[in-house]
Amino acid sequence: MTLETTRLREQAEQIASGLPPLLVAADRLASLVSLGVHGRRKSGMGETFWQFRRFQAEDASSAIDWRQSAKSQHLFVRERELEAAEAVWLWCDSSPGMRFKSEFASVTKIDRASVLSLALCALLVRGGERIALYGDGRTPSSGRVALHRIAHEMLESAPSDDTLPPDAPISKNSQFVWFSDFLSPLGEIETTLRRLARAGASGHLVHIVDPAEEDFPFQGRTRFESPAGRQSEIFGRAETLQSAYRARFRAHTETLRDLTRRLGWNYLAHRTDKRPETALAALFAELGGAEAKMRIA
């Protein structure tokens, strides 16, 4: 074994040593979602054979596959797979606010977002889709190599103060999945959504919420700090704020949901005290995997 080979192996082992916890968690989560027979694949114009189906009255006679039909008493049509120039781009908010975890949740918001995004990548890779992290300068690619690279980049990325995706290139006819707590001003979120839509992307917002952020279960003398720890304030009777806080949080969420739908995007809310596989199955179905089903192990 040459010195170069030894060096490369050591580098590979060092890189891989940080991946198993995140990849194992993501693969385990992805395994709880069944893709059905064809995942996100659909019939349409293309050259690749997809499946045989029974002949229907509206089908042209030229579409009949006579060789397959001769094997039974029914007529069959050969369907081809829809070929669309589509990729899935992902972006996870890694700002300080995403590092929050209350006593009512078992994970931070960034941990849940990371596992969900990587599990989604695992499902997409299994279906032959191309994936990419938005803003990292790489073009979408497929396969386990792409999955491992994205996991590595997510682990190596430093926390950022940016709560919004950067202004970076994105391929047309692609789908964009944005994981965040969406506590940024709604005007800034709308500007970002419209920019991505103008670039030709359709999208999905995954709103990650800690239960304390929605329920505001605090009572008595409570000290609240900003995510970066630069500001703090003490309230003697926190419970007196509960009603007003809940109303404001609900209004923010409803406005975000309405804005998303007006632009033709999808919105999904997920609390970190809920089962992640439920959110993953719903997200994959929204991406086009209509046959996706949750399978509880």
In tens, the pLDDT along 24-40 reads 677 778 877 755 434 44
Q: Which residue has the higher pLDDT, 250 or 14?
A: 250
Confidence (pLDDT) at 84: 45
Give me the architecture of the 30-35+85-294 domain, per CATH. 3-Layer(aba) Sandwich (3.40)
Percent of the chain with pLDDT over 90: 41
Percent of the chain with pLDDT over 70: 79
Confidence (pLDDT) at 77: 78
Confidence (pLDDT) at 164: 95
**Ranges of each domain in the chain:** 30-35+85-294, 49-80
Whether 12 shows a pLDDT value over 50: the answer reads: no
Whether 85 shows a pLDDT value over 70: the answer reads: no
**Three-state SS letters, the chain:** CCHHHHHHHHHHHHHHHCCHHHHHHHHHHHHCEECCCCCCCCECCCCCEEEEEECCCCCCHHHECHHHHCCCCCCEEEEEECCCCCCEEEEECCCHHHHCCCCCCCCCHHHHHHHHHHHHHHHHHHCCCCEEECCCCCCCECCHHHHHHHHHHHHHCCCCCCCCCCCCCCCCCCEEEEEECCCCCHHHHHHHHHHHHHCCCEEEEEEEECHHHHHCCCCCCEEEECCCCCCEEEECCHHHHHHHHHHHHHHHHHHHHHHHHHCCCEEEEEECCCCHHHHHHHHHHHCCCCCCEECCC
Confidence (pLDDT) at 219: 92
In tens, the pLDDT along 121-130 reads 988 888 788 9
Whether 191 shows a pLDDT value over 90: the answer reads: yes
Whether 8 shows a pLDDT value over 70: the answer reads: no
Confidence (pLDDT) at 48: 46
In tens, the pLDDT along 223-264 reads 988 777 678 889 899 999 999 999 999 999 999 999 999 999
Question: How confident is residue 18, by pLDDT bands cut at 50, 70 and 90?
Answer: very low
In tens, the pLDDT along 218-231 reads 999 999 887 776 78
Question: How confident is residue 89, by pLDDT bands cut at 50, 70 and 90?
Answer: very high
